[in-house]
Amino acid sequence: MKRVLERNAPSFIVLLTDVLICLVSLAIAYQIRFNFNVPDTETITYPTVFPFVLTIRILSFLINKTYTGIIRHTSTRDTVRILLTLLSGSIIMAISNPISFQINGIYLVPFSIIIIEFLLSVFLMITGRLIVKVIYMELKNPSREKTGVLIYGAGEAGLTTKRTLDRDKATKYKVVAFIDDDPKKSGKKLESISIYPSSAIEKLIKKRNIKHLIIAIQNISPEKKQFIVETGLSHKIYVLNVPPVQSWINGELSFKQIRKVNIEDLLGRDQISLQLDKIKEEIYQKTILVTGAAGSIGSEMVRQILPFEPKLLLLLDIAESPLYDLELEIRDNPATNFLNIEPIIGDIRNKERMRNIFNTFHPDIIFHAAAYKHVPMMELNPSESILNNVLGTKIIADLSMEFNASKFVMISTDKAVNPTNIMGATKRIAEMYIQSMNGLGKTKFITTRFGNVLGSNGSVIPRFKKQIESGKPLTITHPDITRYFMTISEACQLVLEAGSMGKGGEIFIFDMGLPVKIADLAKKMIQLSGLELGKDIQINYTGLRPGEKLFEELLANEENTLPTHHKKIMIAKVKSYPFDFVSEEIDALIELFNSQNNEAIVTKMKKIVPEFLSKNSEYERLDKEIMN
């Protein structure tokens, strides 16, 4: 049976069938025209009329190759081609009538017959193909074997999604209903599928045995997506998402593009409104340097900067392969017209190498994203931490001022607030130095501070994904641990906005939304993967890591904020320190690197940053010694 279904009808059989349809349509047209009582005066013209009409039809079919399509896969394009082919033949018949009248004094084919035959042929040829298609689809994949699907969104994307499921013979999904928030659509049908309001979603899931829910709304708000996904997951159904139209292949949606909802989709927020003109004014035809350009934040900064057409974009990183991948991504992207980039391999701790870069290119604006960021790793390597995060930042900042860069924008972290670990303390020391430098030269020094970014290298979400894919338990340090999250794109957009508005000396903090409980995040990811906690996969609590906080802060206790024109960006009122003091303290701290004495290094850091109190770390005892 399967082989019979898969076998294509020979083209000549399709052609003969179409000709037979036209013959039948012509005969019926005469019967309808004369009320099923054709006079003898008309029947005597049959030997002339029928061959004439069929000849025109056959020639038009051969020219337009309407018989070459695979019937069971008839598309809208095929039906339009059939319509135009028949119409062109009918027009030729109509034009032949005046010619026949001039020669014989009669119309060869009455105009009414031409019109009726055309309508009947169109109806029978198109309907016949659609019937074959429906029968094939039903035999190939009976409805009783299909999985019930709800499509949320009865717009163009929703209709396209339904058609994609219908035409993909490999799928076993049957669209049961559409859900739409537009009250004008409620109660109506879209291609014979009923449209229901969102209030009916739970009832439909229970009553119609729904197993899949596809979100097919373009530009949906995060709140609405959260509601839809929560509803689906609460009933243990699989939730899928239709990608944006611009990512469809050649403007058409394929079944494989309908993917599962990611946790990033639920944690994102409404699109950020940026002062694009102001940002372009800052960047356009300027030489821009991005340190740490191959990292998660750095690479996204590069992508965000490119559309503003800098004169030259310098991509600085010590990691060769990721930097090479970024360069290829930019150069191979047809949407990127800007190719004036300069990948640079270099270590920000190497002053002479950095000086050569500044002396060669004279960057106008520096976005400093290079840093060591992993808390447990830095807790084990304090000397390297201060060398990269403190000395590296100092070198880039000093050269920025020496070569009269207009702006230096440092990307910091919420872990710099009341730091409990080495990494956070190094970032706070770097903040102090950057802030103290403002006003010493022409360069405006600006700091941006935000929390965790979704999907960044080594962050919790990629780790959870790997654990789920491998079937391993998800590891969480503590049941109550919480974190702020922001998408990489959102964070980098806000960095650009803050950089453009900064006058110098500010520490900008971003609205990170509400903190997210990591345990809840893990449970949601398990559900989105179609797994069941406790049955398919487990969660293991391993205890807080060295230097790790239960919750992060964006402001220290004695700090408060000032608003800006952007509702998601605020200025932190942070205690500032004199340049001479900070510079001397940092020099003394870096000098300790040579000793490789971790205790001496951490003790010095605690004296520079008095609020630095270690947690879950071997260095907690140093706090007691300093206090005593």
Q: What angle do CA 75, 79, 85 make, to 5 degrees?
A: 140
pLDDT at 524 > cutoff 80: yes
Q: Which of 140, 163, 193 is the last residue of a domain?
A: 140
| 193-202: Cβ within 8 A, 24+ apart | 193/162, 195/154, 198/152, 201/150, 201/152, 201/231, 202/231, 202/235
pLDDT averaged over every residue in the chain: 86
- The amino acid present at 352, given as its one-letter code, is E
Judge if 254 and 151 occupy the same domain: yes
What percentage of residues in the chain have a pLDDT greater than 90?
36
Q: How confident is the model at residue 39 (pLDDT cuts 50, 70, 90)?
A: confident
Q: What are phi and psi of 482, to 5 degrees?
A: -130, 155
pLDDT at 311 > cutoff 80: yes
pLDDT at 456 > cutoff 70: no
Q: Where are the alpha helices (DSSP H) in 212-285?
A: 222-234, 263-267, 276-283
- The amino acid present at 334, given as its one-letter code, is P
Q: Say if 200 falls within a structural domain.
A: yes
More confident residue, 628 or 545: 545
pLDDT at 618 > cutoff 60: yes
Q: Say if 535 falls within a structural domain.
A: no
Q: How confident is the model at residue 465 (pLDDT cuts 50, 70, 90)?
A: confident
Judge if 358 and 384 occupy the same domain: yes
Judge if 100 and 219 occupy the same domain: no
Q: How confident is the model at residue 512 (pLDDT cuts 50, 70, 90)?
A: confident
Judge if 364 and 236 occupy the same domain: no
Question: Is 174 tagged catalytic?
Answer: no
Q: What are phi and psi of 413, to 5 degrees?
A: -145, 160
What percentage of residues in the chain have a pLDDT greater than 70?
89
Q: Where are the alpha helices (DSSP H) in 365-517?
A: 375-380, 382-385, 393-402, 422-437, 460-470, 488-501
Judge if 431 and 313 occupy the same domain: yes
Helix (H, G, I), strand (E, B) or coil at 300: helix
pLDDT at 4 > cutoff 50: no
pLDDT at 423 > cutoff 90: yes
The region that residue 472 occupies, defined by phi over 0 for left and psi between -120 and 50 for alpha, beta otherwise, is: beta
Q: Which one of 219-233, 328-342, 529-543 scores highest in mean pLDDT?
A: 529-543
Q: Can you tell me the distance from the alpha carbon of 483 to that of 69, in angstroms, rounded to the nearest whole number?
A: 57
Judge if 240 and 296 occupy the same domain: no
Q: Say if 472 falls within a structural domain.
A: no
Question: What string of DSSP letters covers 550-568?
Answer: SS--SS-TT-EEEE-SSTT
Judge if 125 and 24 occupy the same domain: yes
416, 419, 425, 429: CA torsion to nearest 10: 50
pLDDT at 555: 60
Tokens 């005597």 correspond to 44
Tokens of 226: 């959260």
Q: How confident is the model at residue 520 (pLDDT cuts 50, 70, 90)?
A: confident
pLDDT at 356: 98
Pairing state between β 444-450 and 507-510: parallel
Judge if 90 and 37 occupy the same domain: yes
For the ranges 94-103, 305-314, 388-397, 462-471, which has the lowest average pLDDT?
94-103
Q: Which of 261, 285, 309 is the last residue of a domain?
A: 261
pLDDT at 628: 61
pLDDT at 584: 96
pLDDT at 142: 54
Count of CB atoms situated within 10 Å of the CB of 96: 17
Judge if 256 and 282 occupy the same domain: no
Q: How confident is the model at residue 384 (pLDDT cuts 50, 70, 90)?
A: very high
pLDDT at 412: 94
pLDDT at 409 > cutoff 90: yes
Tokens of 67: 């018989």
Q: Say if 225 falls within a structural domain.
A: yes
More confident residue, 330 or 337: 330
Q: Say which CATH number the domain at 151 has.
A: 3.40.50.720
More confident residue, 588 or 234: 588
Compute the Cα dihedral for 283, 288, 292, 295 and give only its sign.
Answer: positive
Mean pLDDT, to the nearest integer, of 338-350?
90
- The amino acid present at 73, given as its one-letter code, is H
- Per the structure, the count of domains in the chain is 3
pLDDT at 25 > cutoff 60: yes
pLDDT at 437: 96
Q: Which of 415, 524, 549, 568 is catalytic?
A: 415
Q: Which of 140, 160, 191 is the last residue of a domain?
A: 140
More confident residue, 220 or 602: 602
More confident residue, 97 or 153: 153
pLDDT at 1: 44
Q: Which one of 326-330, 408-412, 518-522, 566-570 scores highest in mean pLDDT?
A: 408-412
More confident residue, 145 or 394: 394
Helix (H, G, I), strand (E, B) or coil at 178: strand
pLDDT at 159: 86
Q: Say if 624 falls within a structural domain.
A: no
pLDDT at 203 > cutoff 90: no
Mean pLDDT, to the nearest integer, of 446-454?
84
Q: Say if 617 falls within a structural domain.
A: no
pLDDT at 472 > cutoff 90: no
Judge if 238 and 333 occupy the same domain: no
CB distance 177 to 194 below 8 Å? yes
Q: Say if 618 falls within a structural domain.
A: no
State the DSSP code for 514.
S
CB distance 565 to 500 below 8 Å? no
Element (H, E) at 175: strand 173-179
Range of the domain at 561: 276-452+486-512+553-608
Distance of CA 441 to CAs 368, 403, 413, 438, Å?
Answer: 18, 10, 26, 7
Element (H, E) at 138: helix 111-140
pLDDT at 6 > cutoff 60: no
Judge if 250 and 342 occupy the same domain: no
Q: Say if 134 falls within a structural domain.
A: yes
Q: What are phi and psi of 479, to 5 degrees?
A: -60, -25
Q: What is the pLDDT of residues 222-263, one digit of tens each?
A: 778 888 888 888 888 888 888 776 666 655 677 677 777 777
Mean pLDDT, to the nearest integer, of 37-63?
86
pLDDT at 345: 97
pLDDT at 625: 76
Judge if 68 and 124 occupy the same domain: yes
